[in-house]
Amino acid sequence: MRFDYEQVHLFASELLRALGASPEAAFHVATSLVKADQIGYDTHGVGLLPLYSQMISSGAIVPSASPVAEKITDAICRVDGHLAFGQLTGEEATKTAIESADNHGISVCAIGNGSHLGRLGEWAEEASSRGMVFLAFTNTGGGAKNVAPFGSHERKLSTNPIAFGVPTFGALQHNIIVDFATSQVSGSVIREHDRTGAQLDSEWTTTDSGKAVPGARSFMEGIGAMLPLGGRVTGHKGYGLAIIAELLGGLAGGVVVGQEDPEWFSNAAMFIVIDPTRFLSIGEIEEQITAIAEHLRDDNVRLPGEGAHDHKLSAEKSGVDILEYVLESLATLAVDLNVEIPAFLSHFRTRATDSNDKHKTW
């Protein structure tokens, strides 16, 4: 179902304010979430709000908190998220790192106590839109262990997402953006399949027998583990990436898996920002981008970031696509928070009132 961006954004903002966010924080977090839906990343869109409500109730997110940046050297900084909404922390770290790289050519920003940073690619987009190369590596502070090491079936690691961004300076209509979990899929994809009843791909998970988990509900109940990126045959590659992300996140946040076993996860991350014009002119970079695009593209080949760009153009024309189960969970959350359900969700008002705790399965 498609809706006007402003309608969805306003409703998300109202829910966030009811959860304890300031009007400014609610606006920024809602923007991040709705933009994720707008580009087709519904696993990191407004459907996260019921999960955030649970995290707030458990103290894993502090809605009134604000991230604080600390300068360590001219090119190195640290941002303590203080468990604020991770979208605010990611924004602060990216902004600080860009300013530093603009002056010094390169910068590194460490994030600790990040709660949930949301869609990591958002910060790759922000940096590349400012003409900067971006690299990010994250861990979860020892929590959310759902991924098996290569050769194992036990939950020992998190999905540890990584992201990269390269500016194209107008050579393409979009920048080059790469954002993925170091497991076969993100945890949000599993949760989405649980809510929709969709079948899990057999290459996503494993059990002690070596077979796939029978379904998303079984996985959510603790059966089996996700496979590292590359799966049963070449999962050593994703496993290696996960270890690098774990250790770099550990440098940033101070904790890696095996040290602590918290009830909830909290992202730590290492953001690296580089000014590419310290190496080549903008014109030379544009020539390289054009050459590789012409070399790779055909009717079946797109470049990283192109799909999200096209999805955004479609959403701007036809509205933001929100899945029905997400709409129902938001209406239910609104009832719990005594927030008025907007007219565009009136279809879900009765169902939400009758089942006002369904979202707690997230």
Query: How far apart, in whole angstroms, are the C-alpha atoms of residue 337 and residue 254?
Result: 35
**Would you state the pLDDT for residue 266?**
96
Given a cut of 90, whether residue 130 has pLDDT beyond it is yes
Domain encompassing residue 212 = 65-303
CATH number (domain holding residue 136): 3.30.1370.60
How large is the average pLDDT for residues 283-299?
96
Please check whether residue 162 lies inside any domain of the structure.
Answer: yes
DSSP-derived 3-state class of residue 10: helix
Please report whether residue 323 resides in a domain: no
Q: Is 273 helix (H, G, I), strand (E, B) or coil?
A: strand
For 52-108, the pLDDT digits (tens) are: 999 999 999 999 999 999 999 999 999 999 999 999 999 999 999 999 999 999 999
Give the integer Cα–Cα distance in Å for 157 and 179. 18
Query: What's the start-to-end Cα distance of the chain, in Å?
Result: 21
The confidence band for 352, taking pLDDT boundaries of 50, 70 and 90, is: low
Residue 173 neighbours by CB under 8 Å, 6+ apart: 309
The domain tally of the chain equals: 1
What pLDDT, on the 0 to 100 scale, is given for residue 120? 97
The pairing of beta strand 76-80 with beta strand 106-112: parallel
Phi, psi (5° rounding) for residue 337? -95, 5
In a domain, 157, yes or no: yes
In a domain, 261, yes or no: yes
* DSSP calls for 202-251: TTTEE-TTSSPPS-HHHHHTT-SEEPBTTHHHHHHHHHHHHHHHHHHHHH
Chain segment 165-202, per-residue pLDDT in tens? 999 999 999 999 999 999 999 998 999 999 889 999 99
Q: Is residue 38 part of a domain?
A: no
221's CB contacts (< 8 A; 6+ apart) are: none
Q: Is residue 263 part of a domain?
A: yes
Does residue 57 lie in a domain region?
no
pTM above threshold 0.75: yes
CB of 250 closer than 8 Å to CB of 256: yes
Question: Is 171 a member of any domain?
Answer: yes
Q: Strands 225-226 and 205-206, how do they pair? A: antiparallel
What pairing do the DSSP bridges indicate for beta strands 268-274 and 133-139?
A: antiparallel
